[in-house]
Structure 1
Amino acid sequence: MFKVTITWMQCELANLIELLRSYPLSRKYETHRNSGFRYIHYGDIHTGIANVINEENNLPCILEGKYRTLKKDDIILADASEDYQGIAWPAVLNINPDENIVAGLHTIALRPKANIDSLFMYYTFLTTDFRKFGYRMGTGMKVFGITSNNLLKYNFNMPSKIDEQIKIRSIIDFINNVITLEQEKLNLILKMKHVFLRKVYSTKANDNMVLCKLNNYISKKGKINKENKEYIVSSVNNKKGFINQSEQFESTRLNNLDKSTYRIIEPKDFAYNPSRINVGSIGYNDTDNILIVSPLYIVFRLNDEINDRYFYYYTQTEKFLYEVNRNTEGSVRQSLTFENMGNINIPIPNNYQTQLLISQYFKKIDNIIFITEQKINRCKKIKTYLLQSLFV
């Protein structure tokens, strides 16, 4: 074991940077042609298009003009946000640009002075301490902002030597690289699953598939919880299916909730929001627990001729979405009744064993997706912890 001694110094941001010119360039200045000029718009910082900028091609092109351009290691912050958490969210130019890069609308551009590592500064702007500073200094009612004068008042501690700054931020760099690689892996798996879903549930690609109406296989369920029993209060998430409402609301609100009108979801029941099933609002109770949901939901169960998970994966296909849209009705808000759910066509293999194999295959893919998401979330938590503990 050995100790690394780091000398920390207290600094004011104004003494560490040079304030650069930014320009009130809105989206109307963008062009589809390659003008040789690109800009960093505050909206692109908030959406993640501009964070650690390693590819200038990701930035929008703008019309030519006489601008003071940015160079490698310059830091750009969004001075406006729809919420306090996004005030002064940072981006950093991490390459020597081949084109002219300009700080655009609602941005504050900074150039670190000598012996200041730009990535260390970038991570400093992500710390909880700086986020709290932005919250205190931010102004506005509907759109929140921070002025450059207030920004430069930020006081914080940092290593006095640049090599020490680099050592500290390189740890965050490593975590970021892991997150990026795992996210790329996750995106690839999700694309693969999407392609496989489209092919597996295609009657054109599979001769052993028969197109059938759902009304031959479903029965309506969802008794009302008249006795107001304490079941798990749930709702349906467009991506996760059933989720516990305690994840969304405070427990006191749920404790005071009248559950006597809620519908009971038994194990192996499906439920969907008739007005939002077109965006994936359908859930399958694959647990041993009894749930309850809002009376707005429609509850049903499949008979033994269709494997539950085989059907559930079908609901994730473009074909199912097409069938939903074909069967919804309503002049103002489209809705899918239980009767119309029965009119939906579903491709069914000639034998049940094939359904089972298909559902098991996609379940394995989902397990890989879950493990990858868990790894990404753990890395993000580690990153948050390191930002709080290393950047003191």
Structure 2
Amino acid sequence: GFTDPWEQRKFVDFVEASGIRNKDNLQLESYSVSNDRGFVPQDEQFENGGTMRDADKTAYWIVEPGSFAYNPARINVGSIGYQSTRKNVIVSSLYEVFKTDHSCDDRFLWHWFKSSLFTKQIEMLQEGGVRLYFFFDKLQKSEIWMPNVDEQRIIGQQFDQLDSLITLHQRK
């Protein structure tokens, strides 16, 4: 078992912006981030690929595998995704794109992002008038209680197994 205490950490200590501008207009597959399915090819998210299908994509972000991306205007409804494909993809320049360092397990963090604890961080730090935003600088100010990375990994795997079990039972 694990006996080390958990530490309260600020995101600025273990995340960094990782989106790369698609300045060469590479013909990478365009993705969106949905509230319930995370990263989704734009062709699946929108009929006929959406209005931006044939647009200039030089302002888009290239998202490498192992990155997170979210819509700062829709993060409050769960619009965050984890890029787990084996290829680079692109997302709208409106998204925030980031990676974690070696001290954070991405699966552990993914489950935290889907928790009410993260929702409370958003509510405390978002800004704006009619439409509220949670930009990357606000994410960096967010705080999380974390165990060591080995314990994070086990917790993340446990939640993944629970998710799989729940999905299996919902299909029956």
Fold in common (TM above 0.5):
yes
Match of 1:278 among 76, 80, 84: 76
Deviates most, 352-361 or 363-372: 363-372
Deviates most, 208-217 or 248-257: 248-257
1:264 aligned onto 2:62: yes
Matched letter for residue 363 of structure 1? D
Partner of 1:341: 139
Deviations 1:247-288 (A, max 9, x none): 122158565232222111100111111111111111111221
Question: Mind listing any 5+ residue stretches in structure 1 that lack a counterpart?
Answer: 1-205, 377-392
Runs of 4 or more consecutive aligned structure 1 residues displaced over 3 Å after TM superposition: 251-255, 369-373
Deviations 1:311-332 (A, max 9, x none): 1110011111001111111123
Task: Please tell me whether the aligned partners of residues 246 and 254 of structure 1 are also in contact (alpha carbons under 8 angstroms).
Answer: no
Partner of 2:166: 369
1:301 aligned onto 2:109: no
Matched letter for residue 220 of structure 1? A
- Structure with the larger strand share: 2
SS of equivalent residue, structure 2 residue 155:
helix
Partner of 2:127: 329
Q: Distance in 1 between matches of 2:138 and 2:52?
A: 32
Matched letter for residue 229 of structure 1? L
Residues paired across the two proteins, number: 169
Return the TM-score normalized by structure 1: 0.41
Q: CA deviation at 1:218?
A: 0.8
Question: Mind listing any 5+ residue stretches in structure 2 that lack a counterpart?
Answer: none
Note the aligned Cα RMSD (angstroms).
Answer: 1.9
Q: Distance in 2 between matches of 1:215 and 1:292?
A: 24
1:226 aligned onto 2:28: no
SS of equivalent residue, structure 2 residue 129:
coil
Q: CA deviation at 1:347?
A: 0.9
Q: Distance in 1 between matches of 2:108 and 2:94?
A: 25
Matched letter for residue 360 of structure 1? Q
Using a 3 Å threshold, how does the CA distance of structure 1 residues 358 and 295 change in structure 2: closer, same or farther? same
Partner of 2:7: 210
SS of equivalent residue, structure 1 residue 284:
strand
1:249 aligned onto 2:47: yes
Deviations 1:290-313 (A, max 9, x none): 111111001111111000111111
Q: Distance in 2 between matches of 1:254 and 1:274?
A: 19
Q: What percent of counterpart residues are identical?
A: 34
Deviations 1:340-370 (A, max 9, x none): 1111011101x22110110000111122234
SS of equivalent residue, structure 2 residue 20:
coil
Using a 3 Å threshold, how does the CA distance of structure 1 residues 303 and 275 change in structure 2: closer, same or farther? same
Q: Which has the larger radius of gyration?
A: 1
Q: Distance in 2 between matches of 1:340 and 1:253?
A: 30
Task: Please tell me whether the aligned partners of residues 25 and 56 of structure 2 are also in contact (alpha carbons under 8 angstroms).
Answer: yes
Task: Please tell me whether the aligned partners of residues 213 and 346 of structure 1 are also in contact (alpha carbons under 8 angstroms).
Answer: yes
Counterpart mapping for 1:378-389 below 5 A: none
